[in-house]
Amino acid sequence: MINGAKRRPEFYMSQRKAVNAAAQISLGNKLLGYMTVTSIVVYLAWRAGFTLPWSYGPLAICMGLLLYLCELISGIEEVANYMGQIRPLPLEKPQMPDSWYPDVDILIATHDEDVNLLYNTVNACRYLNYPDKSKIHVYLCDDGNRPEMRELAERLGANYIDMPEPKHAKAGNMNNALAQTHSPLVAFLDSDMVPRREFLTEMVPFFFLPKVKKNAHGQWVERAKEEIDPEYKIGFIQTPQNFYNPDLFQYNLYAEDRIPNEQIFFFREINVARNRNNSALLCGSNMMVARKALEEVGYFATNNITEDHETGIRIQTAGWTTYALDICLANGLNPPAVSNLIIQRERWGRGCMQTFHNINPLTLPGIPFSRRINYLCTLLYWLTFFCRFIFIISPILVALFGVYIVECSLGELMTFWLPQFILHNIAMSRLSSKTRTAHWNNTVDTIMFPFLVVPILLDMVGVRLKRFKVTDKSHQRNTSANRILALPHIILFVMSVVGIFLCLLDIIQHRALYNVIILFWLVINAKSLILAIFFMLGRTNDRYFYRFYVKLPVEIDAGGYTFKGVTADISEGGLSAIFDYPAHLSPDQPFTVRPADRVHPAG
C-alpha cells in the first residue's frame, strides 16, 4: 500500500487513461513548452543582472525596478502555467455499479434573483440522469425568505430552505442549508447555472477513485481492502463555468464567432493543469463536494467575500485530493453590463487577497513546493492588472519624458528578449488549445485594469472595502457601458499615439534604432487600448432573451398550410426559421410551431 500525499498522483496515474484535452499533448508541444520556460528564465536573469538603470537617476531607478518586478510576476505565472500544461495529470472517470451511486444534495443559492431565472435551474434538476432518482435531493436555498421562491420550489418538487436571520452572504446561506441536509455528496449551483442531464453522473464516479482500479484487461474492478490508501480521499470535483450567452468581451467587440469565452482558458486549461499538484480552485458553482470534507474544515469560510476560494484551499490543506474537469456540465449567464462585470471581478480579486490574509497557504506547513507555487500564482494573477498599467505607462515615459528605465543595446534586446517573446506568443496559443493568445490576454487585462488595481491593492495591504454587491445577471435591454469608464483608456491611448509620433521622429532624424522596441510596444499597447475603448463604448442589446444559434427541423402550421424549415436561432421568447421556398406568414395570423420529426395522428 502506498502512503503519502506526494506519491498518490503518480501511484494512481497508471490506473487512468487521458480523457481531458489538456492531457493529450504532443512531444512537439512539450518541447515548445520547455523551450519557452527556459527562454523566460534566461531573459529574467539577464534583466536582473545587466539592464536595471542604476545610473539614470531616482525616477528611472524606481520605474526600472517596478517594470522588472512586473515582468518577474508575469514570468513566474507563465512558467508555472506552462509547466502545468506540458505535464498534465491524466484522469479518467471510473466505471462502477449503479448501487454505488449515493444520495446527493443539490443546493441552489439565491439572494434576490428573479423567479424566472431560478425556474430554469430548478426545473432542469428534475431531468437529471441518475440510476436511482429518489437519491437526488434538490434544495432551493433562499436567504431572502421570499414567498414566491417557496411557491416555485413546491411547484417544481424541490425542497425550500430559508434563513430566519440572513448573515454571512452566500457562505451563510450554504452553511445554513448544509446544517439541514445529510447526503454524503453535495452539488452546488448558482441561481443562473442550468445543469445538463449528465451533471451528476459525470462527477459522482470520481469520488470512488480510491476504491477502484483497472485490471490487466482494462476493466474497472474494486480494490481489495489492503490496497486502499486511507489518505487518498476525494474532497471536491470542479467543472467549468460555461455560459449560453456571449460574454461582454465577445459581444461588445462583435467577436462572438471569433474568440472563445474569456473564462474558458482558466477552467479548461489552467485549473485542469493544477490537478497534478492538488491545487485546483473551488469556484462556487458547477461543483460537487464531499460532505465530510466540508465538515472537517468547518463548512464554508464566512470571513471572505469569495468563500469558495478559501474553502477549497482549506480542504486541500486538510489532506483531501481535489480535481478539476474540462467537461462542461452546466450553463449560466455572463454579466449583462460592464458595471456588473467590474463588480464581479473586483469581488473575485478582493476575495483572493482576503484568503491570503485569513490562512496564507504559502506559509502553512506540509504543503509541497509545486502546490505553493500555484497558490502564489493565484495571488500574482490579480497583481497582473497593476502590471498591465506599468507595461502601458513604461514606453510612454520613455517616449514622452525621456525616462530611460532599461539600460541595454538593441542587439542585447534581440538576443535575450526576442526569443522569449516569440516562443511565448506561439506557446500561449498552441498549449492552450487556441483558447487564448498573448495578444488577447493583454487586451482583456487592458480593458479591466483601471477598475481593479486600487481595490485589489487595498485589500492586499489589509484595507477591506465595505462596498460589496452580488453580480446582477438579470436580463437587460439596451445595455451599454458608461462612456466615462473609457476615460482612462482614452488618455493612455492619446499618450501612446503621441509617443509613437515622437519615436518615429527620433528614428528618422537621429537614426535612434534603439527606439524601435519602444515604438513596437507603443503600437502593441495602442492596439489593446483602442479595443478597450470600443469595449467600453458598448453595444446595444435590443433583445430581452438570449438566442441560441441551433439548426433544428421544424414545421409551421398557418392558414391551413404546413411550411417546413430549419431554425436559425431559438430563445425563450421565440425563434427564427429558414424555409426552402418562399412563405408568407401574416403578423396577425396565429400559427403553430412543432419539431419536424414529431409523429402526428392522421387527420
Query: What is the SS3 string spanning 117-169?
Result: HHHHHHHHHCCCCCCCHHHEEEEEEECCCCHHHHHHHHHCCCEEEECCCCCCH
What residues of the chain score a pLDDT lower than 70?
1-24, 466-482, 541-546, 597-603
Distance CA 407, CA 64 (A): 9
pTM of the model: 0.86
> Alpha-carbon distance 350 to 304, whole Å?
9
Of the candidates 552, 555, 550, the residue with the CA atom closest to the CA atom of residue 599:
555
How many whole angstroms separate alpha carbon 433 and alpha carbon 503? Answer: 37
How many Cα atoms are found within 13 Å in the side-chain-facing hemisphere of 42? 16
pLDDT at position 471 is 59
**pLDDT recorded at residue 145:** 84
The pairing of strands 185-189 and 159-162 is unpaired
**By CB neighbour count within 10 A (0-12 exposed, 13-18 middle, 19+ buried), where does 290 fall?**
buried
Q: How many CA atoms lie within 13 A of 266 on its CB side?
A: 15
What pLDDT does residue 543 have?
65
pLDDT value for 466: 64
pLDDT number for residue 22: 41
Q: What is the pLDDT of residue 432?
A: 81
User: Residue 279, class by beta-carbon neighbours within 10 Å (0-12 exposed, 13-18 middle, 19+ buried)?
Assistant: buried
Rounded Cα distance between 320 and 299, Å, is 14
- Specify the pLDDT at position 372: 94
pLDDT of residue 463: 86
Question: How high is the pLDDT of residue 455?
Answer: 93
pLDDT of residue 513: 76
Radius of gyration of the chain (CA): 27
DSSP β-ladder status, 104-110 and 220-222: unpaired
Q: Which residues contact 514 (CB under 8 A, 6 or more apart)?
A: 409, 410
Residue 474 pLDDT: 56
Predicted confidence at residue 558, as pLDDT, reads 78
Residue carrying C-alpha cell 440522469: 129
